[in-house]
Chains A and B, each alone.
Chain A
Amino acid sequence: MTPRRVRGLLLHVVLAGGTILALFPFYWMVVMATNTNADIYRFPPKLTFGSQLPTNLRNVFDSIDFFGSLLNTVIVATTTTLLVLFFDSLAAFAFAKFDFPGRKVLFGVLIGTFFLPVGLAIIPGFVIMVELGWVGSLKALVVPAAANAFGIFFLRQYIHNAVPDSVLDAARLDGAGFFRQYFSLIVPIVRPGLAFLGIYTFIASWNDFIWPLVVLVNPDQVTLQVALQQLNSVHGLDYSRVMTGALLSVIPLIVMFLLFARNFVSDLAMGAVGE
């Protein structure tokens, strides 16, 4: 074999090894979800599938309102994502292609918000929600997240790289205003960027834990992560049940990702550094 072939093979071996490390936990979670507690506590641990899955699933559904919290999570994630895509792309367009007064300063402020530790905002945020009367409501999760700095930053880069001025100038000559340009030109062109940001936002919203934990005071209306934590603390001793719950909370997202993220890397590339 030529040195190049050897190197190529070696590369694949290393990458395959890495893939195993990356994906192994999911295999192991399935193992735990299909076994009983006694099997999990065995030493050395059992590495193969058992047949406990139906029982464990039933236990999970008895312990938490799985489908209810799943629905809540889907509602929150979807609404947040749609709002983010709309607000962020609109703002990004403004920043990317228009030199309005104060643009630099405002954009600087935007960048500055990256550095604000979010943990700080929990207590005051909670108090604000109390005053607004949004405690326990899904509104409290969606509204604060409806526009974020990262999305604007990313899409601005994207628009900057992907939308030629000539296209916009032509549209302006035709009399198109800001919003018309946005809807008919920008949105179609930056669709891949929107896809990336959409996936990114959806995932972040789906996995959000601390804020929903604090603000969804009504235990009957929670998101999936909070329900999972409830499961863990109420039935923490029942490991097979908890792992089944964890697995269930992870699967929908992976499926979604596999379906929609084919061009994840190239979408990201366009936004990060241009073509």
Chain B
Amino acid sequence: MTLSRTAAPVAPKTRPRAHPHRAPGRRRRVLSYWPQYLAISPFYILFAVFGLAPVLFSFYLAFQRWDGIGEMQFAGLDNFKYLIKDEVFWLSLRNTLLIWVMSTVPTLCLALVLAVMLNSVKRFKAFYRMAFFIPNITSVVAISIFFGALFATNYGLVNGVLETVGLPGVAWLQSVWGIKTVIAVLTVWQWTGYNAIIYLAGLQTISTDLYEQAKVDGANAAQVFFRITLPLLRPIILFTVVISTVGGLQTFTEPKVLVGDTAGTGQSGLTMVFYFYRQAFSHNDYGYGAAIAMVVLLVVALFTILNWTLVQRGQDGENG
């Protein structure tokens, strides 16, 4: 009995058939798989109704003018034409990219370092892992409120510490870079542990034989890390980079809670999704909001592909 057979009795690939017989054969095969189709259907149905339909509706809405209450009016490309001229939108794009880079790069790098460290300790393993993951369990709302207090100019703890050691306090949430920094710090705090645990899981699958062998061959720690660990972790790193991209480019709750609806000084906290929310819900310009949302989708797709290629290319480069 072959152990590799995972399919039901008929293996389509190994059975070439003449054309006329294919149709009934396939239909029978399809029907015989009804439990599987049933099993996977809940997801696809739910996705179609609550995932895909909204996106398609959004796409449709982007060509309309609608205030949520009255009738929809067809507006053609007006929303998009306005978008191109809209300085505030381009500002939100720049803000989003900056915040994303400022948050994601430190998070993933720290997470990797942390994972390596966690992998090396012998005692208190479970304690450390839980401790570092807990920031991720906290709701973004609670944490944003908290970080707002932490970095407050006049009474925040951070400035308190700075001034105690003789440094001047910083107007964190009243300066353009300060706001972005606080958002980045918040994100790093919340997501480093999460990513570290994922990397840790990956590290644990690397056979210690490889490390032994490397030591025998005389490799030092850095070489081991860059030549063995990193390449083997690449798929996982790719996974976290993609997730961080999709999530990071849609930052919204943190700036909204931290700096309020005006998005702070110079609108520094205005990310694309924040701007979308403002247009749709504060200005009741749902059509324009939808147009912005479409562009967000494009940007996310673009950067995801970009990241994918970068990480993959690196892999090919390594192996090549």
Contacts and interface: CB of A to CB of B under 8 A. Distances in A.
A264 B133 contact: yes
A197 interface: no
B101 interface: no
Interface string B217-236: 00000000000000000001
B208 interface: no
Interface string A22-50: 11011011001000000011111100000
Contact of B146 (A29, A100, A149): A29
B8 to A, nearest CB: 6
A106 B40 contact: yes
B4 A22 contact: no
A250 B43 contact: no
Contact of B35 (A99, A179, A206, A242): A179
Interface in A96-153: 97-101, 106, 109-110, 113-125, 127-128, 143-144, 146-149, 152
Contact of B141 (A8, A44, A228): A228
Given A210-B252, A246-B146, A100 B33 contact: yes
Interface stretch (A9-17, A59-67, A187-195): A9-17
Contact of B135 (A22, A121, A246, A262): A22
Contacts, number: 275
A97 B202 contact: no
Contact of B140 (A29, A120, A165, A209): A209
A90 interface: yes
B134 A268 contact: no
A101 B33 contact: yes
A169 B40 CA distance: 21
Contact of B145 (A106, A182, A242): A242
B117 A120 contact: no
Given A144-B46, A254-B137, A268 B146 contact: no
Given A98-B6, A98-B36, A144 B155 contact: no
Interface stretch (B74-82, B83-91, B121-129): B121-129
Contacts of A114: 242-243, 246
Contact of A15 (B55, B118, B273, B286): B118
A54 interface: no
Given A25-B146, A115-B304, A90 B39 contact: yes
Contact of B252 (A119, A225, A228): A119
Interface of B: 1, 3-8, 11-12, 26, 29-30, 33, 35-37, 39-40, 42-44, 46-47, 49-51, 53-55, 57-58, 61, 114, 117-118, 120-122, 124, 126, 128-143, 145-147, 149-150, 154-157, 159-160, 163-164, 189, 193, 197-198, 200-202, 204-205, 236, 242-243, 246, 249-250, 252-253, 257, 273, 276, 280, 286, 289-290, 293-294, 296-297, 300-301, 304
13 contacts: A19-B131, A25-B135, A91-B40, A94-B37, A98-B36, A106-B44, A117-B300, A124-B58, A125-B54, A144-B46, A144-B50, A165-B3, A264-B129
